């Protein structure tokens, strides 16, 4: 039997709990630094458009690292896409650079702290990130938004170089079996890593992750 659509019944307690669990735990997506992000900003430059996945980049004031935004139309229900986000306790199957992920603390039904280790290609050393995730669900517009920000004080330094993170994800239901997914991120990976190395690979890496997500959701 096909799972019930998570946005289908706004007044259903089970439906509210289901979408909250699936979406507020979504940090298994992330490689995101502290700057304001908005899907409506107009200074994004389109860099790639393939397989209904659009990738944009932009410069960020005060940082040498570029921000990236991806938008994708995905032919799947919001419940199917939400399930692929994971619950923060392990890496999502489509997230290539995630080495490990776990929930540090549940702050409320909408907020939690998550710790993630990023698997970076040799000779770059791996990074870790500590983030706070906050989820807002708008049942009128049938949209779920997940805001993320660094929360270094929530977990002491480990053996990894720590990255600074900030970003936003949005799932908007546009039909019974179609959603629009928006993914915005910026990362300051710390250490002495040249920003040009990261910027040159940003579009390709993001496109691969979103394309894999789309394929898994639609399969």
What is the tens place of the pLDDT at every residue in 33-70? Answer: 344 444 456 689 999 999 889 999 999 988 899 999 99
How many independent structural domains does the chain possess?
1
For residues 201-213, one letter each, b for 16 or more C-beta atoms within 10 angstroms of the residue's C-beta and e for the rest, the string is ebbeebbebbbbb
Higher-pLDDT residue of 14, 160: 160
Q: Is residue 144 domain-resident?
A: yes
From CA 85, how far away is CA 25, in angstroms rounded?
Answer: 7
Q: Residue-wise over 87-101: b if at least 16 C-beta within 10 A, else e? A: bbeebbebbebbeeb
- The verdict on residue 19 lying in a domain is no
Residue 3 lies inside a defined structural domain of this protein: no
Residue 18, in any domain of the structure: no
User: Model pTM?
Assistant: 0.81
- Residue 47 corresponds to which tokens in the numbers above? 């860099």
Is residue 198 in a domain? yes
The mean predicted confidence, pLDDT, of the chain is: 82
| Residue of higher predicted confidence among 197 and 85 | 197
**pLDDT score for 145:** 87
Find the mean pLDDT for residues 104-125. 91
d(CA 137, CA 61): 30
The answer to whether residue 11 is domain-embedded is no
Radius of gyration (C-alpha) of the chain in whole angstroms? 17
Structure confidence at residue 135 (pLDDT): 85
The pairing of beta strand 127-138 with beta strand 161-162: parallel
Assign 9 a pLDDT band (cuts: 50, 70, 90): very low
| Cα(113)–Cα(152) distance, integer angstroms | 10
- The confidence score (pLDDT) of residue 66 equals 94
Whose structure tokens read 């698997």? 119
Please compute the mean of the pLDDT values over residues 79-102 and round it to a whole number.
86
Angle (deg, nearest 10), helices 13-24 and 78-85: 40
The pLDDT score that the predictor gives to residue 42 is 67
Domain holding 137: CATH number?
3.30.530.20
Task: Say what the pLDDT of residue 29 is.
Answer: 42
Whether 13 is covered by a domain: the verdict is: no
Which residue shows structure tokens 């959603």?
A: 179
pLDDT over 70 at 11, yes or no = no
Whether the per-residue pLDDT at 172 is higher than 70: the answer is yes
Q: What is the pLDDT of residues 133-157, one digit of tens each?
A: 888 889 999 998 888 899 999 999 9
Residue 65 inside a domain? The answer is: yes
pLDDT, residue 169, reads 87
Mean pLDDT confidence for 179-205: 91
Count the residues in the chain: 219
Q: What tokens does 49 get?
A: 């458009």
Range of the domain at 129: 33-218
**DSSP letter (8 states) at residue 192:** T
Measured between alpha carbons, how far is 46 from 185 in angstroms, rounded to an integer? 15
Q: What local confidence, expressed as pLDDT, does residue 83 receive?
A: 82
Strands 164-175 and 143-150: antiparallel
């Amino acid at each position: 039997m096909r799972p019930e659509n998570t946005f289908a019944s706004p007044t259903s307690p089970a439906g509210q709990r289901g979408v909250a669990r699936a979406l507020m735990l979504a940090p298994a997506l992330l490689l995101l630094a502290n700057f304001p992000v908005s899907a409506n900003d107009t200074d994004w430059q389109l860099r790639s458009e393939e397989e209904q996945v659009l990738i944009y980049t932009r410069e960020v004031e005060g940082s040498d690292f570029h921000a990236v935004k991806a938008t994708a139309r995905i032919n799947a229900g919001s419940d199917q896409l939400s399930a692929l986000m994971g619950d923060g306790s392990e890496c999502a199957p489509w997230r290539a650079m995630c080495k490990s992920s776990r929930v540090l603390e549940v702050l409320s039904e909408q907020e939690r702290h998550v710790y993630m280790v990023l698997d970076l290609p040799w000779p770059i050393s791996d990074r870790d990130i500590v983030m706070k995730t906050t989820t807002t669900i708008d049942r009128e517009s049938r949209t779920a938004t997940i805001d993320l920000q660094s929360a270094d004080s929530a977990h002491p330094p480990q053996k990894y170089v720590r990255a600074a993170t900030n970003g936003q994800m949005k799932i908007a239901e546009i039909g019974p079996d179609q959603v629009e997914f928006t993914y915005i991120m910026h990362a300051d990976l710390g250490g002495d890593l040249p920003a040009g190395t990261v910027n040159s690979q940003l579009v390709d890496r993001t496109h691969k992750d979103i394309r894999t997500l789309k394929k898994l959701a639609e399969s």
